[in-house]
Chain A
Amino acid sequence: MLTILILFLTGLCTMFASFMPNKQLPKYLGVSGIILALVTLHLRLGLGLDFPTFFTMFPLTRIVSVVALFLLLVIFLAHRKYEEDYDWSAVYSLMLFSTCGVILLFGQRNLLTLFLGIEIMSIPLYVLAASKRNQAISLEAGLKYFILGSFASAFLLFGIALVYGSTSSFVLDEIMSIQENHAGQLPAYFHVGYIFIIVSILFKMAVAPFHFWSPDVYDGSPTVVTSFMTTVVKLGSSIAMYFLLAGFFKSQFENYSKFLLPIIAFSFLLGAILGLVQNNLKRMLAYSSISHIAFVLVAIILSVAMNDQGIFMFYLMTYSIASLLVFLILDYLEQGNSIFLDQLNGLSKHQPILALALAIGILSMAGIPFTGGFIAKYRVLMGIYQLNVWIFAIGLLSSAIAIGYYLKILNRIFFHENSQENVAINNNLFVGIVSILALGTITLGIFPELILQLIHSFFVA
């Protein structure tokens, strides 16, 4: 709870810091706020307030909070400054507010917390997506996201209302026991409520066929915001899904995972095939993220079925790190708001370190051995094989297809002559952070348990 409070206060301070003459102040404030939040997690400080039916710090909550805060910290430190006089305080504070919602989702015990978390997470995002006010594409992204996102929220609320109407409870544990004890007496609209809730979370995760907003929003938003969306926000909605499946839906798990499997198969194929024809990198990565999030969804189902949180945590972590790495580099290379394939031409000639780091990120997304992505995909695929052979085959096929477009990117980086004028990058901090992320990706691929163990021993045990 204290962590959320600190983030919230930091967000407020950052917002007001824009009145100060020092333009760097919001950044320093944000960074120190995040570090303070990490310290409270490490020292296990609390407020002494307890909301057992509302919000609990599970061990899982601690781990994912650390990961999310770390990702946010990296975004704050490493993003590019567009224009010198651009006022970043609003972006920083909105990201911090959104992260509050994400962390709320990490510890939810209650459908109201779920709704609150989703809303606190999403509303700043609508603004963030439109934060390049002078560009029509950004405004369009914001508006689209807002309208569709509101629909999803309405679905969620309606679903919660239906579930409450049939069980007269918001608390996940209570609903679970009611389901187990009075399985036959629940009205049919209880299940409709179920499906509404799941669909709204699927929308937030951008799983096909609820994905239509994601390529447009990814493309239209400023790349910093996109990187925030693919990492922290994805983490939040995926964990929300995990809690729903692991707690709320446990007794009906068999049925609901069946309902999810076709969606997963569809997302696998859609993400892989539509990504092939994209020329715009941000759109391409949006499709790749649809495919990846389907993997996360499978991993969640597996984790629930096998009672092992490791599988989906590992997938989420490797995917977030790799995609953060890729988006941060794209953020530096882009001109205007979009980045196309040919802007990567010959990157390895004039920016060898960035090219290598980008390649590692892409390889990890493609799931090539010795990067974290391989281990993650391998563990998931190995699990799915026992669950459903068809999903296994489709998953394998989609990763093989998706390699096609990852290969296109690598091809541009290494084998094409440079056609653009070079973007000079002399930001040592940026290069350092990118190298750390790349090394982290490789470490995840060679010593997979190491990083989770470190987090565990620092923040949980």
Chain B
Amino acid sequence: MHLILILPLVVAIIAFFMSHKLVKEFSLAFSGAFFLLSLYVLFQYNPLNYYNFTYYNESFLAGTGGSLHLGLDSIGVLMFVLTNFVVFYVNILARNKSYTSDFYGCIFLMQFALIGVFSSLNAILFYFFWELALLPIYYIVYQWGSGKELNKAFVRFFVYTFVGSLFILTSFILFAIETKTTSFEITEMAKNSLTGPTQILYTLFLIIGFGVKIPIFPLHSWQANTYRKAPAEGTILLSGIMLKMGLFGLIRWLVPFQEESLPIIQKIILALAIFGTIYGAAIALRRNDLKLIAAFSSLSHVGLIAAGIFSYKYIGFQGAVFQMLVHGINIVGIFYIIDIIERSSGTRYLSELGGIASKAPVFSTLAFIIILGSIAVPLTNGFPGEFLLLMSVFIYQPILGAIAGITIILGAAYMLRVFQRAFMGEVSDHVSEFKPVSNADLYALGLIVVLVFLLGIYPQYVLDLTANGSQYLTNLLELKNN
């Protein structure tokens, strides 16, 4: 495991010092290799052991309660594959642009940190990687971002995420001190539990800390502007994988440590998450900038995922994990499409687009399928996850479930609006000079389309894989509640 972790770091260091010409091919090759390696890890995964590929070394971060304790559970392994997938796509996309070598260095550094986040079994180590994952994205957003008021968007992004991580650290310290545990190993921590007001504090702090990254409704205001100002690669990283850090954090560090269920907090969070779902979708309906629409659609989707987690049901966890994976794949596809449109026509504003389908039919077909996946049409990958999530919320509270169901309609509405305005209709001025989409881009989108169908028709493979992880969480909660 530690080898898988260290490899991206080594590549990152090499990439930092490479010449700007060579680095493109170099990093594309390595990210592809990492993706294949991650698939190999996925197939080697043995669901009978809870944590696979564990590794332990205590001299790392000694004296703080931290240690290098790594391992993948079934949820972690999916996120690990997703990380490699997203980084691979970022590299494919970056091929079209001229980035300097520090960009690629940052990407691999981030991959290193993300793998660390998804595999650390020690709270301090987790926090360490969490922070490390933020540093490269700050650099990418600021250095290659564009647009007016980049500075303002960046400062907001920075303050939100940084203060959020401080909350996470504080809650870990709180846990350790209040339970008198000296160890931050997850296995040790799980033996103890908080009670009373400190538990509420721990829960709230973690929800705030992770909620910034997800983002859950009132903490989302950094998101839209950052997505818009960041370069396409940065947006893909942020939406494809970094917000999964927050969701994953909830599943890994919050759910198992809740002693008694906290019905009031649970209700509030569920209501907020579902409100965010509807709110995101409603705003996406009215936007003109494609990137903003994608940002708000993302807000809408993750709201539903968070709601599924907080319904504390087996199917909720199953749906959440599945949807995390699927949302990662689809949002990469959507931002990829937006980037192609922007590169080919020079604009990403709906009002200036139209009739792409007549100029680039293959591209439009692929885009349409990915959009269908995002709407969650049956037989596409969006459906099983969304269905499980809605069902879980519905079982918890039928009214909330019914409200959450509106998001499907709204999702279809804003996505189809995009498709109608941009791809159909009269050919607009900008689109009339639409540059042909390169074959490589089409193959890249093709792979996503294959995944859309594959996971839509046969979700069982993934659901079986995560079954023991979700079952474990459910049992834990039932055990503690009785």
Contact = CB atoms under 8 A, between A and B. Distances in A.
Interface of A: 310, 314, 368-370, 375, 378-379, 381-382, 385-386, 396, 400, 403, 407, 411, 414-415, 446-450
B61 A382 contact: no
Given A385-B177, A414-B143, A415-B143, 20 more contacts: A369-B128, A370-B128, A370-B131, A375-B64, A378-B169, A379-B64, A381-B173, A382-B64, A382-B173, A382-B176, A396-B166, A400-B162, A400-B163, A407-B158, A414-B142, A447-B59, A447-B62, A448-B61, A449-B59, A449-B63
Contacts of A314: 63
A375 B61 contact: yes
- 8 nearest A-B pairs in the assembled complex, by CB-CB distance: A369-B131, A449-B62, A369-B128, A448-B63, A449-B63, A382-B173, A375-B64, A415-B142
A16 B272 CA distance: 76
Contacts of B174: 385
A257 to B, nearest CB: 19
Nearest to A407: B158
Nearest to A375: B64
A385 B173 CA distance: 9
Contact of A378 (B62, B64, B162): B64
9 contacts: A369-B132, A370-B131, A378-B169, A382-B64, A382-B173, A385-B177, A400-B162, A446-B60, A447-B60
Contacts of A448: 61-64
B60 A403 contact: no
B63 A414 contact: no
A407 B174 CA distance: 28
A310 B166 contact: no
Contacts of A400: 162-163, 166
How would you classify the secondary structure of chain B's contact residues: helix, strand, loop or mixed? helix
A452 to B, nearest CB: 9
Contacts of A415: 142-143
Nearest to B143: A415
B262 interface: no
Nearest to B68: A446
Residue in B62, B139, B158 whose Cβ sees the most chain A Cβ within 10 Å: B62
Contacts of A378: 64, 169
A396 B142 CA distance: 26
A382 B63 contact: no
A415 B102 CA distance: 13
B127 interface: yes
Nearest to B142: A415
A453 B132 CA distance: 26
Nearest to B125: A369
Contacts of B177: 382, 385-386
A355 to B, nearest CB: 11
A231 B275 CA distance: 54
B131 A368 contact: yes
Given A369-B128, A369-B132, A446 B61 contact: yes
B139 A414 contact: yes
B437 to A, nearest CB: 33
Contacts of A369: 127-128, 131-132
Contacts of A446: 60-61
A411 B138 CA distance: 11
B452 to A, nearest CB: 37
Contacts of A379: 63-64
A310 B173 contact: no
Contacts of A403: 162
A414 B135 CA distance: 13
Nearest to B59: A447
A378 B166 CA distance: 11
Contacts of B143: 414-415
Contacts of B173: 381-382, 385
Interface in B153-209: 158, 162-163, 166, 169-170, 173-174, 176-177
Contacts of A407: 158
Contacts of B59: 447, 449-450
A453 to B, nearest CB: 9
A382 B60 CA distance: 18
A450 B60 CA distance: 10
B163 A370 contact: no
Contacts of A375: 61, 63-64
A371 to B, nearest CB: 10
Contacts of B64: 375, 378-379, 382, 448
Contacts of A382: 64, 173, 176-177
A400 B60 CA distance: 26
A368 B158 CA distance: 13
Contacts of B158: 407
Contacts of A447: 59-62
A448 to B, nearest CB: 5
A406 to B, nearest CB: 11
Nearest to B135: A368
A411 B143 CA distance: 10
A407 B27 CA distance: 29
Nearest to B177: A385
Residue in B61, B139, B158 whose Cβ sees the most chain A Cβ within 10 Å: B61
B25 to A, nearest CB: 23
B55 to A, nearest CB: 16
A118 B49 CA distance: 62
Contacts of B135: 368
Nearest to B150: A415
Contacts of B142: 411, 414-415
Interface string B329-345: 00000000000000000
Contacts of A411: 142
Contacts of B176: 382
B63 to A, nearest CB: 5
Contacts of A386: 177
A313 to B, nearest CB: 11
A449 B169 CA distance: 21
A297 B61 CA distance: 23
Contacts of B139: 414
